[in-house]
């Protein structure tokens, strides 16, 4: 414990002085990586763009632009932090209630960001990130749907980290859609089992429903910037055993200094989280020991669940 706190103090002191320096960032993240456990799946609620702009008497769109730049910077140093999966809350379904001109700008900015990600020299291609979009993409402009489908397609074979972009997303809609799909599958006689946690988890955005493929899993830590202390309908199902880190910093100012604090707090909480997760897994194993889904059933469910996505890729983005 003394060593951890000593290291934490050293990190804070050094980063306060020179947190923007890239060589120092590499040094600090390397120290974090080799001094203890680091979160493998990091989810982020990128909050505070508008307040960041208002405090500087800037246009709201400038805050969204700066927030997009911060996300790209985060993608550039994820490997240094030993992160294998990144899930970002980019746009909630609730955000469609904002003024039309702001929503239109966010859509245009998203289009530009995805176009940039498609460029050969982007962080996505350099880091070989496997990109997926979670959410109701039929609610966004067709141009964005096409670009998102293309980015999903061209990165699908990459073996680097996973980047999950939650766009036009809320967790309640995700869960409701999973329940509807499972219900239909049972009605069609595809699933001769009762509905349980394992089955429903297969149909969430984080599930694969296909044996042999690595799932994105559930987040080790969920970070929310801006000082708000709520999840705002983000990964409600998947956050059962996640460490929640609420930071006062606005998202456009988020950097390696703030992330190092998250890692240190995650380490202090990890032992207890692991115990609770292990007890839950043991309970679920006993409860559903005889109801594990066979591979054939998972394959059929996968085809049903992803039929819309596959059609979107074929019609909007062309063949991989």
What CATH number does the domain containing 54 carry? 3.40.1180.10
Helix (H) and strand (E) counts for the chain? 12, 6
pLDDT digit string (tens) for the chain, length 320 residues: 555 555 555 555 554 454 454 568 888 888 888 888 999 999 999 999 999 999 999 999 999 999 999 999 999 898 889 999 999 999 999 999 999 999 999 999 999 999 999 999 999 999 999 999 999 999 999 999 999 999 999 998 898 899 999 999 999 999 999 888 888 877 777 665 667 777 788 778 887 543 223 446 789 999 999 999 999 999 999 999 999 999 999 999 999 989 999 999 999 999 888 888 888 878 777 765 545 666 666 666 666 555 555 555 554 545 45
In a domain, 127, yes or no: yes
What one-character-per-residue DSSP string does 27-55 give? HHHHHHHHHS---SEEEEE---HHHHHHH
Query: Which two tokens mark 40?
Result: 């493998």
d(CA 276, CA 274): 5
In a domain, 186, yes or no: yes
Q: What pTM value is reported for the model?
A: 0.84
CA distances from 319 to 85, 153, 165, 244 (A): 26, 8, 22, 40
The whole-number pLDDT of residue 116 equals 95
In a domain, 13, yes or no: no
Look up residue 160 and give its DSSP letter.
S
How many domains does the chain fold into? 1
Q: Which helix (H) or strand (E) holds 246?
A: strand 243-246
In a domain, 18, yes or no: no
Q: Which long-range contacts (CB under 8 A, 24 or more apart) does 215-219 make?
A: 216/41, 216/85, 216/87, 216/132, 216/162, 216/164, 217/40, 217/41, 217/85, 218/41, 218/242, 219/39, 219/41, 219/42, 219/43, 219/85, 219/87
In a domain, 140, yes or no: yes
CA dihedral 154, 156, 159, 163 (to 10 degrees): 90
In a domain, 32, yes or no: no
Q: Which domain holds residue 102?
A: 38-317
In a domain, 20, yes or no: no
3 state SS of 143: helix
d(CA 76, CA 255): 12
Asked if residue 288 lies in contact with residue 199, where contact means CB atoms within 8 angstroms, the answer is no
Look up residue 214 and give its DSSP letter.
P
In a domain, 137, yes or no: yes
């Amino acid at each position: 414990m003394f060593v951890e706190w000593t290291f934490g103090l050293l990190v804070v002191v050094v980063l306060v002085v020179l947190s923007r320096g890239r060589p120092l960032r590499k040094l600090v993240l390397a120290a974090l990586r080799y001094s203890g456990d680091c979160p493998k799946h990091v989810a982020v609620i990128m909050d505070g763009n508008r307040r960041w702009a208002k405090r500087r008497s800037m246009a709201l769109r400038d805050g969204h632009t700066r927030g997009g730049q911060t996300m790209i910077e985060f993608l550039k140093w994820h490997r240094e932090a030993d992160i294998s999966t990144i899930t970002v809350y980019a746009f909630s379904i609730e955000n469609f209630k904002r003024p039309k001109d702001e929503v239109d700008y966010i859509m245009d900015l998203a289009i530009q960001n995805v176009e940039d990600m498609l460029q050969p020299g982007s962080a996505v291609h350099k880091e070989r990130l496997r990109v997926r979009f979670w959410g109701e993409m039929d609610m966004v402009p067709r141009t964005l749907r096409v670009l998102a489908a293309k980015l999903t397609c061209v990165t699908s074979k990459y073996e680097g980290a996973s980047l999950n972009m939650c766009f036009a997303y809320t967790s309640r809609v995700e869960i409701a859609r999973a329940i509807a799909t499972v219900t239909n599958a049972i009605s069609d006689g595809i699933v001769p089992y009762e509905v349980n946690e394992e089955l429903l988890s297969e149909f969430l955005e984080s599930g694969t429903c296909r044996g042999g493929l690595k799932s994105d899993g559930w987040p080790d830590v969920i970070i929310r910037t801006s000082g708000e202390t709520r999840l705002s309908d983000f990964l409600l199902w998947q956050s059962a055993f996640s460490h929640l880190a609420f930071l006062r910093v606005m998202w456009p100012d988020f950097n390696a200094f703030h992330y190092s604090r998250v890692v240190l707090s995650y380490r202090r909480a990890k032992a207890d989280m692991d115990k609770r997760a292990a007890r839950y897994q043991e309970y679920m194993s006993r409860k559903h020991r005889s109801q594990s889904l066979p591979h054939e059933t998972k394959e059929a469910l996968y085809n049903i669940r992803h039929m819309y996505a596959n059609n979107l890729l074929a019609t909007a983005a062309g063949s991989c």
